[in-house]
Amino acid sequence: MSQPLLSVQNLDVSFTFQDGDYAALKNISFSVYPKEIVGIVGESGCGKSLTSHAILGMLPTNAMIKKGSIQYRGTDLVSLTNEEWQSIRGSAISMIFQEPMTSLNPLLTIGRQISEVLKKHTGFCNKEIKEMTIALMKEVGLPRAEELYRAYPHQLSGGMRQRVVIAIALIGEADLVIADEPTTALDVTIQLQILELFRKLKQTRNTSLVFISHDWGVIRKVCDRVIVMYAGHIVEEGPIEEILQHPKHPYTQGLIQSIPDYKKRGEPLHTIPGRVPALRERRGGCPFVDRCSLRMDICQTTYPEGKKHGNHQVKCHLYAQEAINI
- Which parts of the chain fold into alpha helices (H)? 48-55, 82-88, 110-121, 126-139, 145-148, 158-170, 188-205, 216-222, 240-245, 250-257, 297-301
By C-beta, is 70 or 229 nearer to ligand SF4?
229
Instruction: Report CA Rg, the chain.
Output: 21
By C-beta, is 48 or 249 nearer to ligand SF4?
249
Separation of alpha carbons 299 and 70, rounded Å: 29
| 170 Cβ neighbours under 8 A, 6+ residues apart | 94, 136, 139, 140, 177, 201, 205, 207
SS (H, E, C) 266-314: CCCCCCCCCCCCCHHHCCCCCCCHHHCCCCCHHHHHCCCCEEEECCEEE
Which parts of this chain interact with ligand SF4 (CB under 6 A)? 249-250, 286, 288-289, 292, 294-296, 299, 304, 316-318
Q: Smallest gap, in angstroms, from Cβ of residue 195 to ligand SF4?
A: 30
Q: Smallest gap, in angstroms, from Cβ of residue 251 to ligand SF4?
A: 6
By C-beta, is 209 or 286 nearer to ligand SF4?
286
By C-beta, is 196 or 305 nearer to ligand SF4?
305
**Tally of CA atoms within 13 A in the half-sphere of 295 that contains its CB:** 17
Longest Cα–Cα distance in the chain? 70
Neighbours of 168 (CB within 10 A): 23
Instruction: Count how many residues are written for the chain.
Output: 326
Q: Smallest gap, in angstroms, from Cβ of residue 258 to ligand SF4?
A: 16
By C-beta, is 198 or 251 nearer to ligand SF4?
251
Separation of alpha carbons 93 and 77, rounded Å: 11
Q: Smallest gap, in angstroms, from Cβ of residue 282 to ligand SF4?
A: 13
Q: Smallest gap, in angstroms, from Cβ of residue 281 to ligand SF4?
A: 15
Q: Smallest gap, in angstroms, from Cβ of residue 307 to ligand SF4?
A: 11
By C-beta, is 64 or 324 nearer to ligand SF4?
324
Does residue 254 come out as left (phi exceeding 0), alpha (psi in the -120 to 50 range) or beta?
alpha
Q: Smallest gap, in angstroms, from Cβ of residue 119 to ligand SF4?
A: 52
By C-beta, is 296 or 323 nearer to ligand SF4?
296
